[in-house]
Amino acid sequence: MPELPEVETVRRDLARHLVGARITGAEVWRERSIRQQPGGRAEFLAEVSGQTIAAVSRRGKFLWLDFGNGTALQAHLGMSGQLLVRAAPVEHPHLRVRLWVTGAPDDTTALDFVDQRTFGHLLAVELVETETGMVPASLSHIAPDALDLLLAAGTPARQAAVAAIGRRGTAIKALLLQQGLVSGIGNIYADEALWRARINPQAPASTLTEAQIEEALTAAATVMGESLAAGGTSFDELYVDALGRSGAFQHHLSVYGRAGEPCPRCGTPIAKVTLQGRGTHFCPACQVLPAAAAPTV
């Protein structure tokens, strides 16, 4: 599933190609891709047609086209969703929704939602005011993400996140994946961040110091920033940016997907365990689990 760097890469592309454009119409080929729209196809078409895209925003793994009038088109990419800007229509076997646009900054005439597995969706929504700005009502519970300035060291939001994590006896990796605490971190970047912070992913958060939790959040922000600079992580053709290009950060991963390979730091073979149903990679020598810290998941 695309994580924060991948979604942010797509958001930046869409902002460059769509801000200022007007949606002249839409076509829906797969009802499942708008399954959360209460009024179905008719409501979806009515809500998006004629709207002007004022901005493209993101929180965690969700992004939305802000229409500047209190409404927006929210997108969740799921496992295989892609938002692709087109200068001309392109046939695709997994094309689910197409938005026709005019007045784009360049030659863009359409935005295609392509989704092989159909776990993603589009939804026309109202925006609500939160402490961090206007967001879709359905996302108001999502916490600020690891790249959000509100999580900068020393701020109340950062301190609150550290305290909320530290109070729990759940494995630290599982908490990093909970979008109500810190959003945008997924399986790949949780493994990479904890390796950088030298923290065992199975360690109960309550056994860690505030400094260790701070280090984990800092490492998450750092690794996701590096991934963003590389266009995200692409293991297959399911994740591409809005222009159809793959990311390159998969070539720079230290532990994720490298079970049995030597740790880049100490040479010990990388281990893989299953934690809450997620494959979890770590170095057993660099990320030692204290004997007294039996993980609770």
Residue of 199, 157, 152 lying closest to 175 (CA atoms): 199
Mean pLDDT of 270-284: 96
Over residues 174-200, the pLDDT tens digits come to: 999 998 899 999 999 999 999 999 999
Mean pLDDT to the nearest integer, 59-76: 96
Minimum mean pLDDT range among 3-12, 42-51, 124-133? 124-133
Higher pLDDT, 291 or 178: 178
Per-residue pLDDT for 50 more than 90? yes
What residues act catalytically? 2-3, 61, 278
155 by Cβ neighbours in 10 Å (0-12 / 13-18 / 19+) ranks as middle
Domains present along the chain, CATH in parentheses: 4-139 (3.20.190.10), 146-290 (1.10.8.50)
- Which whole-number Å values give the CA distances from 240 to 6, 197, 252, in the listed order? 8, 29, 17
The pLDDT mean for the chain works out to 93
Cβ atoms within 10 Å, residue 172:
28
Evaluate if residue 297 carries a pLDDT over 60.
no
CA distance 245 to 126: 31
